């Protein structure tokens, strides 16, 4: 009898060990969010103008090689430049926020075509009329979210990545935009990753509805994280922590604010943030 109990115990332990080993080998995804600072601000940016930063931005992206990359504030000349740098490995989706085509800032997503299969994508405006070019509530600018539905070629699992930029002035716009984003995330029966420049610290009550929809702060959920500020203002403005990722049904292995030396003092007035995540 004791021998049977012992054999049963050993069998359970072997099964647990096997399952743990499988979990440890789950494919990891590396996703970056980066407000690149639009190239139209050259008069006020001076030595931090896009032309002084762009080679360092390209160096950073090639060195870090994320599987997916959500960008904010991208203008057509910046898109053209990074397309030429990343074309060998990445495809891109997204539209200009001011006409639904090319005009205005683009909340684009680059993705590695060898790792991710694009199943579907769309851009929505953060407004009362999300399917048409529009301003929302008290927003100073048109604001959008690019929503990509991917299949991971390694694990064959589907997931959704939502890349956005909330308004920097309109408090009502930010609050209502979060409600929209939470509702759209609920439309997908798969893991969701929401990221971008939110123009609010995590202490802001606008983020509370995300918890009700099981979207949790990746920085807080991460096994390994930091407390770094993400907006640097080129060292001139008051720094803040306003770039975030929120996860639904993901295990967050790490959250990193990328403050490394890429050849210039600042590659943008924001630091990129990167998450390593697994199902």
What does the DSSP 8-state code read for residue 268? S
Q: Looking at residues 220-226, what average pLDDT do you find?
A: 96
Tell me, yes or no, whether 10 lies in a domain.
no
Residue 1 has pLDDT above 70, yes or no: no
Residues 6+ apart with CB under 8 A from 75: 38, 39, 40, 104, 105, 106
Distance CA 34, CA 28 (A): 20
pLDDT band at 25 (very low <50, low <70, confident <90, very high): low
Sheet bearing 192-197, strands edge to edge? 116-125, 144-152, 158-165, 192-197, 243-248, 216-217
Residue 8 has pLDDT above 80, yes or no: no
pLDDT band at 276 (very low <50, low <70, confident <90, very high): very high
Q: Looking at residues 184-199, what average pLDDT do you find?
A: 98
Residue 15 has pLDDT above 60, yes or no: no
Instruction: Please report the pLDDT score of residue 130 as a whole number.
Output: 98
pLDDT band at 11 (very low <50, low <70, confident <90, very high): very low
For residue range 126-179, what is the model confidence (pLDDT) as tens digits? 999 999 999 999 999 999 999 999 999 999 999 999 999 999 999 999 999 999
Q: Of 117 and 19, which is predicted with more confidence?
A: 117
Tell me, yes or no, whether 219 lies in a domain.
yes
Distance CA 177, CA 143 (A): 9
Residue 222: which CATH number?
A: 3.60.10.10
Tell me, yes or no, whether 262 lies in a domain.
yes
Decide if 39 contacts 81 (C-beta within 8 A).
Answer: no
Helix (H, G, I), strand (E, B) or coil at 275: strand
Q: Of 236 and 3, which is predicted with more confidence?
A: 236
Tell me, yes or no, whether 2 lies in a domain.
no
Residue 21 has pLDDT above 60, yes or no: no
Tell me, yes or no, whether 212 lies in a domain.
yes
Instruction: Please report the pLDDT score of residue 26 as a whole number.
Output: 72
Instruction: Please report the pLDDT score of residue 23 as a whole number.
Output: 43
Q: Looking at residues 7-36, what average pLDDT do you find?
A: 63
**How many domains does the chain fold into?**
1
Query: 273 vs 47, 193, 238, CA distance in Å?
Result: 23, 13, 19
Q: Count of alpha carbons within 13 Å of 185, Cβ hemisphere only?
A: 27
Tell me, yes or no, whether 4 lies in a domain.
no
Tell me, yes or no, whether 83 lies in a domain.
yes
Range of the domain at 86: 27-278
Interhelix angle 76-86/50-64, rounded to 10 degrees, is 40
């Amino acid at each position: 009898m004791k021998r049977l109990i012992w054999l049963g115990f050993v069998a359970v332990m072997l099964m647990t060990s096997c399952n743990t080993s499988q979990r440890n080998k789950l494919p990891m995804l590396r996703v970056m969010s980066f407000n690149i600072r639009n190239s139209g601000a050259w008069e006020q940016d001076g030595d931090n103008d896009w032309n002084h930063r762009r080679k360092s931005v390209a160096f950073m992206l090639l060195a870090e090689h994320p599987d997916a990359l959500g960008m904010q504030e991208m203008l057509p000349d910046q898109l053209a430049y990074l397309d030429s740098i990343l074309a060998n490995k990445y495809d891109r989706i997204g539209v200009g926020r001011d006409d639904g085509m090319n005009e205005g800032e683009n909340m684009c997503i680059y993705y590695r075509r060898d790792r991710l299969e694009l199943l579907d994508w769309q851009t929505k405006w953060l407004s009362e009329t999300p399917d048409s070019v529009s301003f929302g509530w008290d927003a100073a600018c048109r604001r959008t979210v690019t929503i990509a539905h991917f299949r991971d070629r390694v694990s064959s699992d589907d997931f959704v990545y939502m890349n956005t930029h909330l308004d920097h002035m309109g408090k009502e716009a930010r609050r209502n935009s979060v409600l929209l984003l939470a509702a759209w995330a609920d439309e997908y029966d798969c893991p969701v990753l929401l990221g971008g420049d939110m123009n609010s610290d995590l202490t802001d009550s606008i983020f509370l509805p995300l918890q009700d929809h099981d979207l949790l702060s990746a920085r807080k959920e991460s096994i390994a994280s930091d407390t770094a500020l993400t907006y640097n203002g080129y060292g001139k403005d008051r720094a803040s922590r306003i770039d975030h990722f929120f996860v639904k049904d993901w295990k967050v292995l790490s959250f990193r604010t990328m403050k490394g030396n890429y050849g210039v003092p600042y590659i943008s007035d924001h630091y990129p943030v990167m998450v390593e995540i697994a199902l």
